[in-house]
Amino acid sequence: MGQGLWRVARNQQLQQEGYSEQGYLTREQSRRMAASNISNTSHRKQVQGGIDIYHLLKARKSKEQEGFINLEMLPPELSFTILSYLNATDLCLASCVWQDLANDELLWQGLCKSTWGHCSIYNKNPPLGFSFRKLYMQLDEGSLTFNANPDEGVNYFMSKGILDDSPKEIAKFIFCTRTLNWKKLRIYLDERRDVLDDLVTLHNFRNQFLPNALREFFRHIHAPEERGEYLETLITKFSHRFCACNPDLMRELGLSPDAVYVLCYSLILLSIDLTSPHVKNKMSKREFIRNTRRAAQNISEDFVGHLYDNIYLIGHVAA
């Protein structure tokens, strides 16, 4: 075993020095062959694709060019693609080095529309002196204001011309962003039922299984922590919207908005029962089917059984 280890170590040493079992190459010859291969590869890349990006990154004429390549040396489309992956803070820092590139309106427009998908100002002729970089700062400021005081936040957006004073426009803005605090948003929607109505109509539940549609609904419009009038209102509005999106399914299953309302309440109670650590005796599938069909008699046993399986396998509908 000792001789075997010695041979392995010796072979590694010979390979490092440029030798092999069949013959050997001097270090100078090895360096020449490697340089020739690199030169040929570089030449092929330049002939095939014009400017060799790899060559730009690796070949530096002086020490001042060491580090990350200057984006201004690249084609503009490639530079914009690289900068588009930055957030607002990093893009501001990048603008200190690449002023013309990082201040480009297309980059800030992409940041605005990827973070706040809908604003009334997007569909208007921009005013004099408008810039998407300035708009991003205003949207960020308005979102922070909303998360402190929802009414003041909405008023800020309207005062800057970002949003129109319309329930539908406010609902679209809420639907297309994730920057608003969900607790403050829940308080605002509880007070502005007109905005809530338009927000519900923006959901499309066509061909969705009922528990999955309910999860999607509560991801946008968070359920209250306790039962009450607001929760009943949310479930009622969801039930009517779900039936409106799936008229054929409702006729096939013989369901009405009232029956969907009962099923939604049953799903919420089942979710609490199966996921709460305080409930020791979990509801069985047989018990859920019996209790649900007692409240809504026209529902098939198989359909109710699939509802139970969904909650058991995927989890809470309003988590």
Domains and CATH numbers, the chain: 75-191 (no CATH), 203-314 (1.10.1000.11)
Q: Are 216 and 203 in contact (CB under 8 A)?
A: yes
Residue 237 and residue 223 in contact, taking contact as beta carbons nearer than 8 Å: no
Burial 112-149 (b: 16+ CB within 10 A, else e): beebbebbbbeeeeeeeeeebbebbebbbebbebbbee
Helices 167-175 and 193-201, axial angle in degrees (round to 10): 60
Quote the pLDDT of residue 106: 78
> Is residue 147 a contact partner of residue 180, using CB atoms and an 8 Å limit?
yes
Mean pLDDT, residues 221-248: 92
Check whether 219 has a pLDDT greater than 60: yes
In sequence order, which residues have a C-beta less than 8 Å from that of residue 144 and are 6 or more positions away? 153
For range 22-43, the mean pLDDT: 46
* Contacts of residue 188, Cβ cutoff 8 Å, sequence gap at least 6: 146, 150, 151, 154, 195
pLDDT band at 2 (very low <50, low <70, confident <90, very high): very low
Q: One-letter amino acid identity for 103?
A: N
The pLDDT score that the predictor gives to residue 24 is: 40
Read off the pLDDT band of 294 (50, 70, 90). Answer: confident
Q: Over pLDDT 90: what percentage of the chain?
A: 50
- Give the pLDDT score at 55: 56
